[in-house]
Structure 1
Amino acid sequence: MYGNNLGEMAWMDLSVPDANHIKDFYQQVLGWQSEAIAMTAQDEKYNDFVMSTPANNEQIANAGDGDSSAGFATGICHAKGTNANIPATWLPYFLVADIEHAAIKVKEHGGKLVTEIKSMGADQYVIIEDPAGAHCALYHKGDKI
């Protein structure tokens, strides 16, 4: 995770048809390391990936506290299941206090909801398109904010 305050970017990921290929691309180009995350969509099992930078890998190893989430750089996901209609672009997730209220504000101010509000455990998110056509996600961290 990145920021923890309202309006800050909390996460960024990329959903593509072939996450394995794109994961390999960024490993070769940027030196990122990957950690597979088991996923299931329509009874199909596959892996999405959490990526970390070489510097973050070293920090994680030296921290010794077992919390590797601080070193994650991004996610690379298959465009399947709940990610099926996500555009193949780097997608930042910005923190909001109330996901329903934020979704209403998007529409009131000329934006569109690309997806319905989705749940991931206690967290919720919605992918939006702003009036210029740019995409991002609004993200609510359960009851933490």
Structure 2
Amino acid sequence: MPVTPSAVAVRGTPCWVSLTTHDLRRAQDFYAQVLGWTFRPGGLGEEFTVALTDGRPIAGVGALAADWQVSVAWTPYFAVASANDAAGRIRERGATIAVGPLRLGAGRVALAADRDGAVFGVWEGHTPAWAIGRGSAPVSLELRTRDAFDATIFYAEVLDWASEEPGGVEVAYERGEVLVRDGDQVVATVRGGVMEAAPDPHIRPRWHVQFPVEDVEKVAAAALAAGGQATHLTPPADPGVGQVLIRDPDGGLFTVTTG
């Protein structure tokens, strides 16, 4: 999670993304080669680092603790007023708390899985100057799940989406998907139709993180050279343009895009 205080994020918005992995050094080497990231200590111990682009925080990368019952994954964290209250609402709605709530640096955090198994986190406290669609931070965050409406109701109740109280986010249904907006900026998208027991891990219910790059072909080639896998999601109209799903050597999935 973020460790440099800056501001309290808007309630219900994604405020950070972090990779949990088995081998921290191998993950750092992979993302340095593929996305050009550098790393600095995160202030939360030797097993947690912050990824940087041009000196700006982009994401967290941390080794899985032995007692954390979570898998290798890119995980979004959402800003909440109280991690304890959010964890209570998660449990009340039949979902699972995997870790926490616990004190982590300057804030409090909990890791959870929604009713369909998609992993996410909640964060109470300050964050860096980071936002979806800004700079080299993820350009989009998308939940692919079985039932978009059911999932949206769950997250709305847990994260105060579309709350009548001022200062939160708005939710709208457009063109077959649910859009979560902070002002004019779409900060999350919810899409349905994914089978919970699908054999392809690319389409299991999960939150997908999408990073902006200048050339998806170069990134795909770098991922393969570094021991990962790459799958084109959209045929590029022009060389280097499109979307590519990347699997890192430990199994972490993310998407790169030029769109």
Shorter-chain TM-score: which interval?
Answer: 0.7 to 0.9
What's the offset of the Cα at 1:122? Answer: 4.4
Equivalenced residues, count: 121
Q: In structure 1, what residue type is equivalent to 2:14? A: M
SS in 1 for 2:89: helix
- Whether 2:100 is the aligned partner of 1:116: answer yes
Q: In structure 2, what residue type is equivalent to 1:49? A: T
Runs (5+) with no aligned partner, structure 1: 41-45, 61-70
Structure with bigger helix share is 1
In the alignment, what sits opposite 2:65?
80
Residue 38 of structure 1 contacts residue 47 of structure 1 at CA under 8 Å; is this kept in 2? no
Distance 1:131 1:47, change over 3 A: closer
- Whether 2:38 is the aligned partner of 1:33: answer yes
1:135 to 119, 122, 126: 119
In the TM superposition, what are the counterparts of 1:16-27 in structure 2 within 5 Å? 16-27=21-32
Question: 1:5, 1:86 → 2: CA distance?
Answer: 27
Question: 1:51, 1:122 → 2: CA distance?
Answer: 18
Runs (5+) with no aligned partner, structure 2: 127-259
Distance 1:38 1:121, change over 3 A: closer
Question: 1:107, 1:48 → 2: CA distance?
Answer: 27
What's the offset of the Cα at 1:87? Answer: 2.2
When the two chains are superposed, the root-mean-square deviation of aligned CA atoms in Å is 2.4
Q: Deviations over 1:48-87 (max 9, x none)?
A: 321112xxx1xx4xxxxxxxxxx200011111367x4332
Deviating above 2 A after TM superposition, structure 1's stretches of 4 or more consecutive aligned residues are 36-40, 84-87
Higher relative contact order (CA 8 A, sep 6+): 1
Q: In structure 2, what residue type is equivalent to 1:31? A: G
Residue 3 of structure 1 contacts residue 9 of structure 1 at CA under 8 Å; is this kept in 2? no
Specify the structure having the higher radius of gyration (Cα): 2
> TM-score normalized by structure 1?
0.72
